[in-house]
Structure 1
Amino acid sequence: MKAILLVVAALAALTAGSPCVTDHDELVLRLNKELLRSTEEPDSLPNPSVHIALRLSTHHNLAKESQHLNQLKTKLHEDIQKSLSGGQMVVGRLALYILALKSSCHDLDSLTLSEGESSDALLTHLKRQMEKEKEHIALSHRPLTNYYQYSLGILALCVSGVRVSSHVSHKLIHAVQHGQIKHGDSLCIDSYAMAGMALQCLKEAGTPVRNEEELSKALATIKQKLQHSQQADGHIGNEFSTGLALQALLAMGSQVKECSTSMEALRSDARKGTYHNAMAISQTLPALQQRSYLHLKSHECRNEDDTLVLDAAPVVEVLPSLTNVPVRVEVLKADGSSSEYRLDVPSGSSLLEVLTLLRDHQMGFTFETEDSLWGPFLSRVNGEQARQTDRRYWHLSSDGSGLREGIKDYKIVTAQKITIKNTGY
């Protein structure tokens, strides 16, 4: 009996330090390289979320990161300025831009934006935008944009050491406590995650709030909602919200072990190639490295690794598909009227390619897109627009199930019915 116990003890000692997964570092490095390679796409707007993830990583190519920073300071800066001059809200993009600059330890006061006749620092503009959001919430019980962007604005101000007005923070705390952070009838995991990081930053900074107890309750509510949204396979919400949710849980002090089911869900998705969208990778990579946006508050750009080297991009020959699949496309307008179209498309076509084929070959179908950090999204279909300012969007579903990817990323591989519905929220 004693001999058996000794054998068991020896085996336990051997396995105690064994990693639960052997390819974690390999997957992280691959995602890091894919993210870095995405910065070389010449036609796309530089993505500040990508820059933040690259800077939060432990692996760096400082020359390419510097090039990307310069693109942010020119192309993205000009895009934000254009929107600002047109009277549009820029809370989300401006907040991410500020966080990206912060991640590179850039002097935020050295850059300005113009509105009307005045030219002010980025943080001044963000504070002004947040005041507009706060006033709109007071009147309409919702932001001009959404609570995801509102939380991003609070987070960017807090991480940058700017005192956030208690009136601004109270609106977010109130929204959390009264279940106002949702998209339609669905719980919005991404928005709760961003709210959690924003409010945690305020708590750690000792920023005065209207009620300390309410702040603590709001953080507890967010943590509970994220934890209760975990699926049996480890995903929190779905595969595209898990990375941000884990960032929030880490920021709020939860222990997220490398061997947890949620971390394994991220690794499993990475192995399958689920994260081919740069925005999705940018939210996943920090979580896999046990980091969050909150780390930017104490981020120092010193003694950084500079060993990340990009291999030559593989030449992928795309052969035309020999298989066509039948697709039905239904358009439901705001007044309930509908139109339906049928066509055969090459298997593996993106939904964007399908809609383009439909527009080019069938009378009566038209569509327009707008760019976002997640890629193009539908803005106008058959002459009807669904605008965020009207609290409407084009909801996409396949055989009744909502799509989790955008029109450029979603691939058609089997016969199905795509429904495009003008939806309010």
Structure 2
Amino acid sequence: MGQSHLLPILGLLFFSLIPNQLCKICEVSEENYFRLHPLLSTMTNSKYTTGTQSADVLLSLRLVGIQNQTLIQPLSQQVKKYVGRKGSNLSSGQLALITLALGACRTADEIFIYENHLLGHLENKLQAEIENMNTGAMAVLALTCVKRGLINGQTKTDKKDLRSIDDHIQSLVKKILSEKKENGLIGNTFSTGTAMQALFVSSDHYKESEWNCQQTLDTILKEISQGAFTLPAAAAQVLTTLMGKTYLDVDKDFSCASGLGNFNIPSHEPDTTTPPNSPTNISVHYSVKISEIYSTTITVPSGSVFLDVMEEARKKNETVFGFTVEQSSWGPYITSVQGLKANNNDRTYWELLSNGRSLSQGVGNYVVHNSEGLEVRWSKY
């Protein structure tokens, strides 16, 4: 469940936020907070945290109660500068995410929202982009917001409207649960956090036996320990969920003096020593597969990522290994190889594989290993 699909729905979420109600959740116990260190480290030490990633991280830190101003202030400034650069080019989802991040906790950042007329811009964008909202988990959150407003009498309605909303939520929850894997993940590693938020707020739409929340939480913690969440935005979204929070918690009554509070953030100390028998450079076997397979051996420094390998291969042969890449809030992604472009309409994309197995990590964050077989394959989904 990519972030590009979530952003427009965040717009609806913002306009329907109301005081939260109790819902069924599971969260990390205080004695297991140490298992969140990798997430916090990724969020706070990445030099590539920019744009909406900064807003994701800022919102997450505030939702879980972290008030360390040496972390908060730089992120806040990055978000404001991003607004200044992008201006009217921001989508409704980007504006909503930024407004949520700056508006949480009733800080001086709220002034920026009003001085720059972000709410007015957001409302205008929503009218143009509302039809693009098709992501199940975020739709459940948005519809739940609307439903609560109707039940509390904040919006006039009749029973027919409530039934319609309930039917939509029921259908979406069924779809979410159908994506549940045997290990508890819902969809994939990175979509699970948002799916959990949706299930937190819709527990009256499924039986307790249909979802083992604790199993999902345990699997996510295992994924964290294995280094799965190396992108700041991904780490930020799952941290919010693991602390039992959802986007519905951002309202006028939300207290930021809770949750992790002044939790000790792990500092990033660069490793200046080279482990024994650890080579400075490593060699990998790299292939491009379309209708034919094109292969080469590439040498890169230890600690390199998949993208580094592709760049070295391109230097050797631009025709065979040439590619294009674009940046997103989730990091870089491959758009074409040998001039062949991925196309959503044709459901085609460039799949990354290691030793024949598909990778869940991105081209900019998967760290390659010595003697590994790497492949970029033209695929359909």
TM-score range, shorter chain: 0.7 to 0.9
Aligned to 2:141: 197
Pairs aligned (count)? 332
Is 1:407 the equivalent of 2:363?
Answer: yes
When residues 312 and 130 of structure 1 are mapped into structure 2, their CA distance, relative to the original with a 3 A threshold, is closer
Query: Hey, what does 1:377 align to over in structure 2?
Result: 333
Q: Does 1:213 align with 2:213?
A: no
Shift of 1:377: 1.6
How many Å separate the matches in 1 of 2:145 and 2:238? 20
Does residue 1:286 correspond to 2:230, yes or no?
Answer: no
**AA of the residue aligned to 2:127:** E
1:277 counterpart (208, 211, 231): 231
Correspondence 1:13-412 to 2 at 5 A: 24-29=32-37, 31-38=39-46, 41=47, 44-45=50-51, 47-74=54-81, 76-81=82-87, 84=89, 90-105=91-106, 106-107=110-111, 109-112=113-116, 121-134=117-130, 137=131, 143=132, 150=133, 181=134, 191-206=135-150, 207=155, 211-253=161-203, 260-300=214-254, 303=257, 307-317=262-272, 320-321=279-280, 323-330=282-289, 332=290, 340-346=294-300, 349-364=304-319, 365-383=321-339, 385-386=341-342, 394-398=349-353, 402-412=358-368
CA gap of 1:30–1:63, structure 2 versus 1, over 3 A, is same
After superposition, the Cα gap between the structure-2 partners of 1:200 and 1:345, relative to the gap in structure 1 and judged at 3 Å, is: farther
CA distance in 1, matches of 2:127, 2:58: 27
Deviations 1:20-51 (A, max 9, x none): 9885222135533442333xx27744521111
Q: Among residues 359, 371, 375, which one is paired with 1:418 in the alignment?
A: 375
1:373 shift after superposition: 1.4
Distance 2:64 2:95 in 1: 22
Deviations 1:316-337 (A, max 9, x none): 247655542312123x4xxxx7
C-alpha contact 1:95 1:126 (8 A) present in aligned 2: yes
State how far apart, in whole Å, the 2-side matches of 1:312 and 1:213 are.
50
Amino acid of the structure 1 residue aligned with 2:286: V
Q: Distance in 2 between matches of 1:419 and 1:371?
A: 18
Q: 1:43 to 1:269 in 2, by over 3 A?
A: closer
CA distance in structure 1 between the aligned counterparts of 2:139 and 2:373, rounded to whole angstroms: 36
Kindly state the Cα deviation for residue 235 of structure 1 after the two structures are TM-superposed.
Answer: 1.0
Q: Does structure 1 conserve the Cα–Cα contact (< 8 Å) formed by 2:193 and 2:238?
A: yes
Q: Distance in 1 between matches of 2:39 and 2:212?
A: 17
Report the alpha carbon displacement of residue 415 of structure 1 after superposing the two structures with TM.
4.0
- Identify the residue that residue 3 of structure 1 maps to in structure 2: none
Q: Give the Cα separation in 1 of the matches to 2:228 and 2:169.
A: 30
- Whether the 8 Å contact between 2:177 and 2:211 is mirrored in structure 1 is no
Residue type of the alignment partner of 1:327: Y
Q: CA deviation at 1:383?
A: 4.0
Q: CA deviation at 1:311?
A: 4.9
Residues 1:37 and 1:416: Cα distance change in structure 2 (over 3 Å): closer
**Is the CA contact 1:80–1:93 (under 8 Å) kept in the aligned structure 2?**
no
Q: How far did residue 246 of structure 1 move?
A: 0.9
Change (3 A) 1:23 1:266: farther
- CA shift at 1:416, angstroms? 3.3
CA distance in 2, matches of 1:327, 1:349: 14
Q: Residues 125 and 381 from structure 1, CA distance in 2 versus in 1: closer, same or farther, beyond 3 angstroms?
A: farther
Bigger relative contact order, structure 1 or 2 (CA pairs below 8 A, ≥6 apart):
2
Q: Which moved more, 1:20-29 or 1:100-109?
A: 20-29
Quote the Cα distance in structure 1 between the aligned partners of 2:362 and 2:305. Answer: 9
The aligned amino acid for 2:164 is E
Deviation at 1:384, TM superposition (A): 5.1
Aligned twin of 1:147: none
Partner AA of 1:69 in structure 2: S
State the identity %. 23
Residues 366 and 382, structure 1, Cα contact 8 Å, conserved in 2: yes
- Shift in alpha-carbon separation, 1:377–1:353, aligned structure 2, 3 A: same
Specify whether residues 282 and 310 from structure 1 end up closer, same or farther in structure 2 by C-alpha distance, changes over 3 A only. Answer: closer
- Structure whose alpha-carbon radius of gyration is higher: 1
Normalised TM-score (structure 2): 0.74
Following TM superposition, by how much is the alpha carbon of 1:363 offset from its aligned partner in structure 2, in angstroms?
3.2
Aligned residue for 1:412, secondary structure, equals coil
What is the alpha-carbon root mean square deviation over aligned residues?
3.5
SS across alignment from 1:327: strand
What's the offset of the Cα at 1:60? 3.0
For structure 1, the residue ranges without an aligned partner over 5 or more in a row are 1-18, 113-120, 138-142, 144-149, 151-180, 182-190
Partners of 1:35 and 1:54 within 8 A in 2: no
TM superposition shift of 1:215: 1.1
